[in-house]
Chain A
Amino acid sequence: DIVMTQSPDSLAVSLGERATINCKSSQSVLYSSNNKNYLAWYQQKPGQPPKLLIYWASTRESGVPDRFSGSGSGTDFTLTISSLRAEDVAVYYCQQYYDTPQTFGQGTKLEIK
């Protein structure tokens, strides 16, 4: 199974500041035939289901604010929130859909400093 490891486990950022979450996969999730990274990011707020934010490592889902961006390739990926808002407090998960079983990172809890 592909192991997904996020860092840090928790993060406190001031409103308006940048938040950065990292995700590393135990093997590459870049599919050579289409040059796509099979990597997604989800946001989960308390008592709610996960919400898809980004797929193909850097493509924002429809309706997701442009302060959210994803980057990286191969085994190393980053989710960046450019200017933190109060409603961004949540747990963020990376996930690979390159192989079955799909696997998730352990989550990063984002709070306001």
Chain B
Amino acid sequence: QVQLVESGGGVGQPGGSLRLSCAASGFTFSDYGMHWVRQAPGKGLEWVASVRFDGGNQYYADSVRGRFTISRDNSKNTLYLQMNNVKPEDTAVYFCAKASTYDILDYWGQGTLVTVSS
């Protein structure tokens, strides 16, 4: 069965960096696009970034463009989100999600909490 397990969350200081990982199993990772979606405490869902199946194209929300980098290692079945110059408004649970054909988010991980605070 499809499993997505996020890690790397924790407390970061404003202006600092964090790196999230998402370990995938149960499907051919290199065949599918992957996304990061976040949810601030008590709030709704916000799409953050996506990467094509081969890592060739990356897309970002305006709120994170220039600060966050999405990448993947298909040899390790792992998705990453490098978060630089983090801000308090980046505080959220970060979910990785698998995209089916046509970019439908069909499987989600349990999420990892990122807290940005001094």
Q: How large is the interface on B (under 10, 10 to 19, 20 to 34, 35 or more residues)?
A: 20 to 34
Please tell me if the beta carbons of A101 and B61 are within 8 angstroms of each other in the complex: yes
Please tell me if the beta carbons of A102 and B109 are within 8 angstroms of each other in the complex: no
Q: Could you tell me the dominant secondary structure of chain B's interface residues?
A: strand
Q: Could you tell me the dominant secondary structure of chain A's interface residues?
A: loop
Binds A, one of B10-18, B41-49, B69-77, B79-87: B41-49
> For chains A and B in complex, what number of residue pairs have CB atoms within 8 angstroms?
53
Please tell me if the beta carbons of A52 and B102 are within 8 angstroms of each other in the complex: no
A32 at the interface (CB under 8 A from B): no
Supplied contacts A50-B105, A55-B106, 16 more A-B pairs, CB within 8 Å = A38-B102, A40-B104, A40-B105, A44-B45, A50-B37, A50-B45, A52-B105, A52-B107, A93-B45, A100-B50, A100-B59, A101-B61, A102-B50, A102-B103, A104-B44, A107-B45
Interface residues of A (CB under 8 A from B): 38, 40, 42, 44, 48-52, 55, 61, 93, 95, 97, 100-107
* Those 6 A-B pairs whose CB atoms lie nearest each other, nearest first: A49-B108, A104-B45, A102-B47, A107-B44, A55-B104, A97-B103
